Amino acid sequence: MSDKTYRVIQWMTGDVGQAGIRHFAACPTFDLVGVLVHSKDKVGKDAGEIAGIEPIGVIATDDVGAVVATDADCVFYTPIIMDVATVCRLLRSGKNVVTTAGFFHPTEDFRAAGDQIRAACTEGGASFHGGGIHPGYAGDVLPLTLARVMSRIDTIHLYEVVEVLKDAPLDHIDWMGFGKDKDAFLSEPTILGLGLPYFAQSMHMLADGLGVAIDEITAAEVDVAVAVEDIAHDEGAIARGTVAAQRHQWTAWVDGRPLIVFHAIYVTGGPDVLEPAWDWGATRYRIVIDGDPPTELTMQGLRQPDGTMSHPGYPWTAMGAINAIPEVCDAPAGWLTHFDLGLVKPRGLVRK
């Protein structure tokens, strides 16, 4: 095994970026050499302080030019929204880019951006790779891994269940439309619905992996459940009668049959506070494959000795990408998909 160290830059320090800093600080495989922030109040702070750990001697800056000029093997790129021009600038500077911010499988939706990224990889002699938990793992890498032990596949269902008040940042309440009037919510575009091109990458990756072509992806169903009473949270309450849970369903059709069905289910309570009395249970990813043999897999946090259990969504998101950094840095230049990397061999996870 290689004990090589990779010099990394953390690009933005939101929930995913902070998980990145904590890992880079703890894991000897990585040497954190720069941190870029957008928020003025984080400029000049130690990266460890931003990420909720001890100071680590790396000071955050908002000077993009200085960070682009920093010598590093890889940028862990986790801004709120990917800027393709910036990613290309980093690649042209010779730095590999690994990101959770959207791209990971070439589809028609991202053809133009993908072409720019490939050209920048060639120019800079660098590589690009996208990953995460979903999309980028739970709905593509994981079902394909299960498919490896099956003899026939009829339909693949992926259920993403999130207990928003327990396992997501509070800003999700507003930006996902909880507390809205039901009819208004159902008549407007939803944040999750707007994300379909990103999740469609997972469906295309699954189909590509199974050697079939998707005819069409339909976004047929959005359901909501309303609160039967005020549901309190740290900054107020979701009012009785307003949207308190939402379910989105997208289907990828192959040869006239539904081959892949993604269910995104975000709830702020259980059957006691919802109408209809939805009971989706705890935050988790659940893959159900109808076929031979019928197979199911659930991925969730581990209950701790004190009885608590939380959803490690952000650490999973960060690590899904970070664990590929060594192989991305060591690979020939280009856009490296999950298929290009094959079975990733994480480095530095087993340590004293």
> Residues 48, 135, 139, 269: which binds ligand NAP (CB under 6 A)?
135
Q: Are 330 and 129 in contact (CB under 8 A)?
A: no
| Positions in 12-41 near ligand NAP (CB under 6 A) | 12-17, 37-39
Residue 151 vs 175, nearer CB to ligand NAP: 175
> Residues 93, 96, 317, 323: which binds ligand NAP (CB under 6 A)?
317
Q: How far is the CB of 331 from ligand NAP (least distance, A)?
A: 21
Of 136, 161, 156, 139, which is closest to residue 284 (Cα–Cα)? 161
Q: Compute the distance between CA of residue 32 and CA of residue 263 in angstroms, rounded to an integer.
A: 37
Q: Are 42 and 49 in contact (CB under 8 A)?
A: no
> Residues 114, 136, 177, 348: which binds ligand NAP (CB under 6 A)?
136
Query: Is residue 337 within the footprint of ligand NAP (CB under 6 A)?
Result: no
Scanning 10-18, 141-149, 223-231, 265-273 for contacts with ligand NAP by CB under 6 A, the matching segment is: 10-18
Residue 42 vs 180, nearer CB to ligand NAP: 42
| Positions in 67-86 near ligand NAP (CB under 6 A) | 78-81
Scanning 134-142, 158-166, 237-245, 289-297 for contacts with ligand NAP by CB under 6 A, the matching segment is: 134-142
Residue 38 vs 182, nearer CB to ligand NAP: 38
3 state DSSP class of 27: coil
Ranges of beta strands (E only) in the chain are 6-11, 30-36, 60-61, 74-77, 96-99, 127-130, 152-163, 216-227, 231-233, 236-238, 243-254, 257-267, 274-275, 284-292, 295-299, 334-335
Q: How far is the CB of 35 from ligand NAP (least distance, A)?
A: 8
Q: Are 10 and 35 in contact (CB under 8 A)?
A: yes
Residues 6+ away with beta carbon under 8 Å from 262: 139, 157, 158, 160, 199, 202, 203, 248, 249, 250, 251
Query: Is residue 107 within the footprint of ligand NAP (CB under 6 A)?
Result: no
Q: Compute the distance between CA of residue 203 and CA of residue 198 in angstroms, rounded to an integer.
A: 10
| Residue in the structure block whose two tokens are 């608590």 | 308
Q: How far is the CB of 136 from ligand NAP (least distance, A)?
A: 4
| Positions in 170-209 near ligand NAP (CB under 6 A) | none
Query: Is residue 101 within the footprint of ligand NAP (CB under 6 A)?
Result: yes
> Residues 48, 114, 132, 348: which binds ligand NAP (CB under 6 A)?
132
Q: Compute the distance between CA of residue 95 and CA of residue 87 in angstroms, rounded to an integer.
A: 10
Residues engaged in binding ligand NAP (CB under 6 A): 12-17, 37-39, 42, 78-81, 100-101, 132-136, 317
